[in-house]
């Protein structure tokens, strides 16, 4: 299907597919007899992303990231709703919004929005206890005060959900408040919106980035080269021209990007767009995702084979996150 044109990115998000059977019909495949869609983590796929899926191919690597599978309902030993023990890392969990997590020295992660632009079926926060505050303007001040009071923090990581699901005005207000904290040295923003709804990269967003005193790193998530079309490439270019440092992290996923040719092409495409391949994550063992897991030995071998094909700067670090660890564990 061709990607529809919308008046703005909010309209594109509002028109996203939210039903598993409709998703199957739009991509031309037979729906499962018992779709595994669930009320707590329903289908959410923008049509700009849907347009990149090969019609009639149930094994398409983009479709596999967003379509519910019966395997999601299986109980698998070693998988849990909070595999990274993020509940233990929450600071002042009684705060209404946003949540703060402190996992690594010198950095605080702010869950700036509970909303996403796409529901990736492998998401490690698919069971995260997001607070219901989307119906009112977010109150940043308790979280900002906590950051201001801790001079050991030099980086704030905006995550979610997806921070770019905030509209331009509240996002600019948040960036400006962080930019005013004297002991911060950088801001990092993790988002999938420029990939799934590239229209989200608005002139107002770019103006907010240009106005920052602090360096801004924007970390996107692309798992397969087919996710990058011309619109995505333009959105990335505009972010770079506004001064953002662009990084990419991927998750190693069975049947999606667990082949060396796929990963090599992804790195080449990213480098061509001036995006640094940053991390290749081993799957976090969150309940409902076991069918995506790739053995670590396979991941290590893939990185070794990438080194034989690509320059060093195009090789992502293959990492695993361990609860309570001082940093991510580098596997290769």
Q: Residues 201-226: pLDDT tens digits?
A: 999 999 999 999 999 999 999 999 99
CATH code: domain 86-330 is: 3.20.20.70
How many other CB atoms sit within 10 Å of the CB of residue 229? 15
* Sheet containing 186-191: order of strands: 90-91, 99-101, 107-113, 155-160, 186-191, 216-221, 245-251, 276-281, 317-320, 329-330
Which segment of 17-21, 32-36, 144-148, 311-315 scores lowest on mean pLDDT?
32-36
pLDDT tens digit sequence for 115-131:
999 999 999 888 777 65
pLDDT tens digit sequence for 278-317:
999 999 999 999 999 999 999 999 999 999 999 999 999 9
CB of 44 within 8 A of CB of 65?
no
Cα distances (Å, whole numbers) of residue 296 to 169, 251, 284: 43, 12, 12
pLDDT tens digit sequence for 232-277:
999 999 999 999 999 999 999 999 999 999 999 999 999 999 999 9
pLDDT at 91: 79
pLDDT at 94: 46
Rg, Å, the chain Cα set? 19
pLDDT at 136: 53
Cα distances (Å, whole numbers) of residue 72 to 18, 62, 129, 249, 291: 17, 17, 19, 23, 8
Whether the predicted pLDDT of 96 surpasses 50:
no
Of the pLDDT bands very low, low, confident and very high (cuts 50, 70, 90), residue 157 is very high
**d(Cα 10, Cα 25) in Å, to the nearest integer?**
24
Mean pLDDT value across residues 61-74? 94
Domain coordinates in residue numbering, the chain: 9-73, 86-330
CB of 253 within 8 A of CB of 219?
no
How many other CB atoms sit within 10 Å of the CB of residue 226? 17
Whether the predicted pLDDT of 33 surpasses 80:
no
Of the pLDDT bands very low, low, confident and very high (cuts 50, 70, 90), residue 54 is very high
**What does pLDDT average to over the chain?**
92
């Amino acid at each position: 299907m061709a990607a529809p044109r919308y008046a703005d990115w909010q309209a594109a998000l509002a028109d996203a597919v939210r039903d598993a059977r409709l998703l199957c019909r739009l991509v031309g495949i037979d729906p499962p007899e018992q779709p595994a869609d669930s009320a707590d983590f329903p289908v959410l796929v923008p049509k700009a992303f849907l347009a990149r899926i090969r019609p009639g191919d149930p094994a398409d690597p983009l479709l596999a990231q967003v379509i519910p599978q019966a395997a999601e309902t299986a109980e698998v030993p070693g998988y849990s709703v909070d595999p990274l023990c993020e509940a233990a890392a929450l600071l002042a969990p009684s705060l209404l919004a946003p949540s703060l997590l402190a996992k690594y020295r010198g950095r605080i992660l702010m869950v700036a929005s509970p909303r996403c632009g796409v529901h990736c079926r492998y998401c490690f926060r698919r069971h995260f206890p997001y607070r219901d505050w989307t119906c009112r303007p977010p109150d940043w001040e308790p979280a900002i005060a906590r950051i201001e009071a801790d001079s050991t923090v030099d980086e704030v990581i905006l995550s979610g959900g997806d921070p770019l699901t905030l509209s331009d005005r509240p996002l600019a207000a948040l960036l400006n408040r962080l930019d005013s904290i004297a002991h911060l040295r950088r801001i990092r923003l993790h988002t999938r919106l420029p990939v799934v709804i590239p229209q989200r990269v608005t002139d107002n967003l770019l103006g907010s980035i240009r106005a920052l005193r602090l360096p801004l790193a924007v970390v996107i998530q692309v798992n397969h080269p087919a996710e990058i079309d011309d619109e995505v490439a333009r959105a990335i270019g505009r972010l770079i021209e506004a001064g953002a440092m662009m990084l990419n992290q991927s998750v190693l996923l069975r049947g999606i990007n667990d082949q060396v040719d796929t990963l090599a092409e992804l790195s080449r495409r990213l480098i061509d767009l001036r995006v640094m391949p940053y991390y290749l994550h081993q799957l976090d063992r969150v309940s409902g995702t076991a069918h995506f897991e790739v053995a670590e030995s396979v991941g290590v071998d893939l990185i070794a084979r990438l080194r034989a094909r690509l320059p060093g700067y195009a090789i992502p670090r293959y990492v695993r996150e361990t609860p309570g660890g001082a940093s991510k564990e580098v596997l290769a």
